[in-house]
């Protein structure tokens, strides 16, 4: 299957296109010509449900419980550590709300999503080479088609940074489509990996000579990268975080096995999909519980016995904090973060549960009242007027969690309140205890994936956004399988790594 | 909080066994290494017990180790860990019944 197939989902450009920010783009040059308007809206999955008015005392007690040393911070053997940051990368691709604050209630309908609610990698591609030319490489062939990679960059003090990095200005700020993808050295390098994947795909298309015009190469490459990334979301990310059973329920194979179906019970829209605040403000924040406090970035040399070299591990903060030049000591070997053939299983994420690691309670460079991420999540949920977990569970016909499952014995001051109405984010983290359920003989450890409420919200919104995007493979070519980059109908993050890093021709 | 160090999961994947565990994060700065053993009784009387062992390659918690499973099978087992520190030079050993799961 040749790359030309990648054009199926695109609508041919017609006449002048007005790009975001009002720039006039000549015909044929706007990389997103003919697509839906780039911005999106937020909305609600359950508009009829009342807001959960969590009291300050309840929030205090939940935060204290999450930070408590009583909580076990345990590895999740099912989810490699890289999925935490892949999840964040996906989030930054589909949502960006810089406007809502923690200081006032928010009218959800008035919120603007500054990202397109599509898996289109606008965080990587920006608005294209005409509107954001600084994201593109104008010195390699074909000009303005590859994305810029930072190499031998010079900072404001004249120091040369040899490490391959995101492109940065002299002050070290990344020149990328979404500033949040520089928040940590891990997501910055994941962003870089997708830049490199795009550039390899461009090279392949250009060398193959089947596509001759630079803008056609860009379109074909961008579409191939997007569709392969979407495949990862559907086939690797969603099953990992919501569990195979929920993934199959929302994304069943067609009866004849020829196409991927999408079955949505709760996520409905009129014209274009939107981002439900129950997803962005609560359910999708499950990834915060997967964060480790330290990471092993490189695999130590092979050895045996206690003489083996041991990787010391690197603390997330301050060592892996972002918005700065990458240094040699934070360069990642990706087989430590994703399951790559031939390498030992990578370090894993933490269980999806209410145990949050210490560094997330004291974020660097945050104002004193915003340094606790769990507190911010809970307060944002109140401002967004999110419904309680119990009400959402009832709307989904799921049995509500018990007092014990909500851990309320450790929250005496707000036990009664939370038993009736627990903040949705907290509820979803508690609910993972039900995800695996009791084994025949012995109760298995919970938290390996999301439970029925959180899992359904996450699976339906991610799958729904893909189905509603007329340029996605799920909408425009559901039987499509990834073969153009040399894979045999499957594609995983391991393939991204190997292709982007030139380990596979 | 459960006792630490501690095994949290043991599972088989192909020819390998993966052992997951936690240590006291604050005490990892002088860690020399963690060695783990997983044992099941002999299949037949007179034969040696089935034992596989490996080394944790990171100084982070939670941690994991992956090594050849030998003759281990899914089911009950006993795991033993040795966590060695340099300051002072000392070792913590612990033994724990575990259930080996098939991935």
Least confident of A19-28, A49-58, A361-370, A441-450: A19-28
Per-residue pLDDT tens over the stretch A2-53: 333 333 333 333 332 333 333 333 333 333 434 444 566 889 999 999 999 9
Q: At what angle do helices A493-500 and A214-232 cross, to 10 degrees?
A: 150
Are the beta carbons of B55 and A442 separated by less than 8 Å?
no
CB A359 within 8 A of CB A221: no
Are the beta carbons of A308 and B55 separated by less than 8 Å?
yes
pLDDT at A180: 94
B12 reaches A (C-beta below 8 A):
no
The distance of B43 to chain A (nearest Cα, Å) reads 22
pLDDT at A31: 37
Cα–Cα nearest to A251, from A240, A237, A264? A264
CB A373 within 8 A of CB A360: yes
Residues of A in contact with B13 (CB under 8 A): 345
Are the beta carbons of B33 and A308 separated by less than 8 Å?
yes
Q: Which of A73, A345, A347, A352 is best to mutate for the B interface (most B CBs within 10 A)?
A: A345
| CATH at residue A472 | 1.10.640.10
Q: Which of A295, A299, A306 lies at the smallest CB-CB distance from B60?
A: A295
Domain boundaries of chain B, sorted by first residue? 6-102
Q: Which residue of chain A comes nearest to B9, CA vs CA? A: A77
The residues, any chain, with a CB within 8 Å of residue A141's CB and separated by 6 or more, are A206
pLDDT at A253: 85
| Run of H or E including A433 | helix A433-436
A306 reaches B (C-beta below 8 A):
yes
pLDDT at A18: 31
A113 versus A273: which is more confidently predicted? A273
Q: What is the mean pLDDT of chain A?
A: 87
Q: What is the ipTM of this complex?
A: 0.88
pLDDT at A434: 75
CB B70 within 8 A of CB B51: yes
Per-residue pLDDT tens over the stretch A284-326: 999 999 999 999 998 776 654 444 556 778 999 999 999 999 9
Number of domains in chain A: 1
Q: With H, G, I as helix, E, B as strand and everything else as coil, classify residue A187.
A: helix
pLDDT at A239 over 50: yes
B11 reaches A (C-beta below 8 A):
yes
The residues, any chain, with a CB within 8 Å of residue B10's CB and separated by 6 or more, are B17, B18, B19, B20, B38, B77, B79, B98, B99, B100, B101
B35 reaches A (C-beta below 8 A):
yes
Spacing of C-alpha A454 from chain mean position: 16
Give me the residues paired with residue B37 across strands. Answer: B53, B80
Q: From CA A216, how far away is CA A347, in angstroms rounded?
A: 40
Q: From CA A502, how far away is CA B18, in angstroms rounded?
A: 30
Segments forming the whole domain that contains residue A242:
3-500
Are the beta carbons of B9 and A295 separated by less than 8 Å?
no
The distance of B50 to chain A (nearest Cα, Å) reads 18
Are the beta carbons of A75 and B63 separated by less than 8 Å?
yes
Are the beta carbons of B60 and A442 separated by less than 8 Å?
no
Percent helix / strand / coil, chain A, rounded to 5: 40, 10, 50
Portion of chain B with pLDDT greater than 70, in percent: 97
Please, what's the b/e burial string for B52-78 (b: 16 or more CB within 10 A of its CB; e: otherwise)?
bbbbbbbbbbbbbbbbebeebeeeebb
In a domain, A437, yes or no: yes
| Run of H or E including B10 | strand B6-13
pLDDT at B18 over 70: yes
Cα–Cα nearest to A300, from A286, A288, A312? A312
| Run of H or E including A199 | helix A185-208
Q: Which residue of chain B comes nearest to A315, CA vs CA? A: B60
Instruction: Assign domain B6-102 to its CATH architecture.
Output: Sandwich (2.60)
In a domain, A505, yes or no: no
CB A275 within 8 A of CB A113: yes
Q: From CA A355, how far away is CA A65, in angstroms rounded?
A: 8
pLDDT at A106: 64
B37 reaches A (C-beta below 8 A):
no
In a domain, A227, yes or no: yes
First CA to last CA distance, chain A: 17
Give me the residues paired with residue A321 across strands. Answer: A184
The distance of A148 to chain B (nearest Cα, Å) reads 34
Q: Give the mean model confidence (pLDDT) for residues A394-423.
A: 96
The distance of A349 to chain B (nearest Cα, Å) reads 9
The vertex-A319 CA angle with B60 and B55, nearest 5°, equals 20
Please, what's the b/e burial string for A137-171 (b: 16 or more CB within 10 A of its CB; e: otherwise)?
beebebebbbbbbbeebeeeeeeebeeebbbbeee
Spacing of C-alpha A24 from chain mean position: 31
The residues, any chain, with a CB within 8 Å of residue A306's CB and separated by 6 or more, are B32, B33, B35, B55, B84
pLDDT band at A109 (very low <50, low <70, confident <90, very high): low
B27 reaches A (C-beta below 8 A):
no
pLDDT at A3: 33
B1 reaches A (C-beta below 8 A):
yes
Q: From CA A215, how far away is CA A106, in angstroms rounded?
A: 41
Residues of A in contact with B8 (CB under 8 A): 72, 74-75, 445
pLDDT band at A97 (very low <50, low <70, confident <90, very high): low
The residues, any chain, with a CB within 8 Å of residue A76's CB and separated by 6 or more, are A290, A348, A349, A350, A351, A352, A447, A448
> Which residues 42-71 on chain B approach chain A with CB closer than 8 angstroms?
55-64, 66
Are the beta carbons of A74 and B22 separated by less than 8 Å?
yes
Q: Which residue of chain A comes nearest to B100, CA vs CA? A: A444
Q: Which of B32, B33, B62 lies at the smallest CB-CB distance from A75?
A: B62
């Amino acid at each position: 299957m040749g790359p030309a197939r990648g054009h199926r989902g695109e609508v041919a450009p017609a006449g002048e296109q007005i790009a975001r920010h009002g720039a006039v783009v000549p015909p044929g040059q706007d990389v997103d010509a003919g697509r839906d308007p780039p911005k999106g809206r937020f909305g609600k999955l359950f508009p009829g449900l009342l807001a959960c008015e969590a009291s300050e005392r309840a929030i205090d007690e939940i935060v204290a419980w999450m930070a408590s040393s009583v909580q076990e911070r345990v590895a999740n053997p099912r989810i490699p550590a890289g999925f935490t940051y892949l999840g964040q990368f996906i989030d930054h691709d589909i949502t960006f709300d810089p406007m809502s604050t923690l200081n006032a209630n928010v009218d959800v309908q008035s919120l603007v999503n500054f990202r397109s609610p599509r898996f289109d990698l606008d965080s990587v591609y920006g608005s294209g080479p005409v509107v954001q030319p600084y994201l593109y490489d104008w010195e390699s062939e074909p000009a303005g088609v590859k994305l810029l990679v930072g190499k031998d960059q010079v900072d404001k003090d004249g120091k040369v940074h040899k490490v391959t990095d995101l492109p940065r200005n002299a002050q070290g700020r990344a020149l990328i489509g979404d500033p949040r993808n520089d928040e940590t050295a891990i997501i910055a390098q994941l962003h870089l990996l997708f830049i490199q994947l795009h550039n390899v795909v461009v090279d392949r298309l250009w060398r193959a000579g089947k596509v001759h015009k630079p803008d056609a190469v860009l379109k074909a490459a961008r579409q191939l990268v997007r569709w392969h990334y979407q495949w990862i979301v559907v086939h690797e990310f969603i099953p990992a975080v919501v569990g195979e059973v929920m993934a199959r329920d929302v994304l069943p194979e067609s009866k004849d096995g020829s196409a991927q179906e999408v079955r949505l019970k709760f996520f409905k829209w009129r014209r274009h999909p939107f981002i439900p605040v129950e997803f962005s403000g609560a359910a999708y924040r499950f990834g915060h519980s997967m964060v480790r406090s330290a990471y092993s970035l490189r695999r130590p040399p092979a050895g045996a016995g206690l003489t083996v070299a041991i990787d010391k591990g690197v603390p997330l903060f301050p060592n892996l904090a972002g918005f700065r030049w990458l240094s040699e000591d934070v360069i990642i070997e990706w087989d430590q973060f994703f399951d790559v053939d031939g390498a030992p299983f990578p370090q894993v994420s933490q269980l999806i549960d209410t145990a949050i690691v210490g560094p997330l309670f004291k974020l660097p460079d945050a104002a004193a009242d915003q340094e606790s991420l769990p507190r911010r999540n809970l307060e944002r949920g109140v401002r967004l007027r999110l419904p309680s977990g119990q009400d959402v569970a009832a709307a989904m016909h799921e049995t509500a969690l018990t007092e014990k499952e909500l851990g309320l014995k450790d929250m005496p001051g707000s036990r009664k309140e939370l038993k009736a109405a627990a903040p949705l984010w907290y509820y979803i983290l508690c609910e993972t205890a039900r995800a695996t359920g009791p084994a025949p003989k012995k109760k298995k450890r919970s938290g390996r994936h999301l439970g029925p409420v959180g899992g359904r919200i996450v699976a339906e919104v991610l799958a729904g956004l893909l189905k509603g995007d007329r340029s996605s493979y799920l909408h425009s070519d559901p039987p499509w399988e990834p073969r153009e980059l040399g894979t045999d109908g499957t594609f995983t993050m391991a393939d991204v790594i190997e292709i982007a890093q030139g380990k596979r021709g | 909080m459960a006792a630490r160090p501690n095994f949290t999961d043991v599972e088989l994947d192909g020819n390998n066994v993966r052992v997951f565990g936690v240590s006291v994060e604050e005490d990892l700065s002088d860690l020399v290494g963690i060695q783990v053993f997983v044992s099941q009784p002999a299949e037949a009387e007179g034969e040696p017990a089935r034992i596989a062992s490996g080394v944790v390659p990171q100084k982070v918690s939670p941690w994991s180790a992956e090594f050849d499973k030998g003759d281990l099978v899914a089911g009950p087992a006993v795991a033993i860990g040795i966590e060695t520190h340099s300051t002072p030079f000392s070792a913590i050993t612990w033994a724990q019944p575990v259930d080996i799961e098939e991935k």
